[in-house]
Amino acid sequence: MKLDSTQKYNGSKIYEGSKNDQLETFRSNHTNQKLTTNQAVKVTNTDDSLKAGNRGPTLMEDFHFREKLTHFDHERIPERVVHARGFGVHGYFQVYESMKEYTKAKFLQNPSIKTPVFVRFSTVVGSRGSADTVRDARGFATKFYTEDGNYDLVGNNIPVFFIQDAIKFPDVVHALKPEPHNEIPQASAAHDTFWDFVVNTPETAHMIMWLLSDRAIPRSFRMMEGFGVNTFRFVNAEGKGRFVKFHWKPLLGVHSLVWDEAQKLAGKDPDYHRRDIWDAINMGEFPEYELGV
């Protein structure tokens, strides 16, 4: 590749040539234009929410954060913004041994008690009618129906995430979704808007390495790990707290599809993953996972 001249544009260097000339009609000059809220209040950036101290929680007085998330939450069509494609299964959870030393949560006390659960597996990007075997992160969300009330452990099959600050969540989802002018590509992150977000947000690097690995095309929901992703806190009866991470491990082991298999299955049987777990349960081959903390 030969790079032999540059010119200034919006304060940054770009390369001249035929491609540069073609792109000129699509460029917007935002020089001296300020970023604002919906109420035209100027903001310095849209990447960081207000925190209580260096490691504290997000403050609800951050009106830009609340406005941005509220706007995102109201972007509703008849299916979900994310995790539209999913499948749910009922079952039960039974702790191996009492966790009394670490937590006062009732469902983690008595090994003889079976706690009803509902688990929803899902892809993230695709619409409700998209294929099961696309390259994507998977949701692994568990609802425990405990004596103390419902406990929701929302997770993914990948232990890290694209962003660190929740204020960027609408941005990463907008980047992941199909292009707005043609609704292409469906159920795939491989398009320019997403890669623009990636190169401008270095913290995505870890998640991208997972997303481009075999973990992004599991062979079955029954052979897929789950992670709480975030760090949580256990508190025991004495009020002592400990930071914990949650990790579901399938008893069948972790297995993936190869890319050629995934593409063929998406065409021949877009319901492959939900059909697999449905048939397994109906044949008495009940999926099992161990919850590690």
- Say whether 20 is catalytic: no
Q: By CB neighbour count within 10 A (0-12 exposed, 13-18 middle, 19+ buried), where does 261 fall? A: middle
| Contacts for 34-37: CB closer than 8 Å, 24+ residues apart | 37/63, 37/64, 37/67
Listed residue (211, 226, 214) closest to 261, CA to CA? 214
Listed residue (200, 198, 197, 208) closest to 158, CA to CA? 208
Q: Please identify which of the residues 38, 54, 110, 156 carries the catalytic annotation.
A: 156
- Say whether 83 is catalytic: yes
Q: Which residue has the tokens 């204020």?
A: 167
- Whether 162 and 172 have beta carbons less than 8 Å apart is answered as yes
Rounded to an integer, what distance in angstroms lies between the CA atom of residue 216 and that of residue 57?
Answer: 31
Q: Please identify which of the residues 83, 90, 200, 273 carries the catalytic annotation.
A: 83
**Alpha carbon of residue 246 to chain centroid:** 16
| Residues identified as active-site | 83, 156
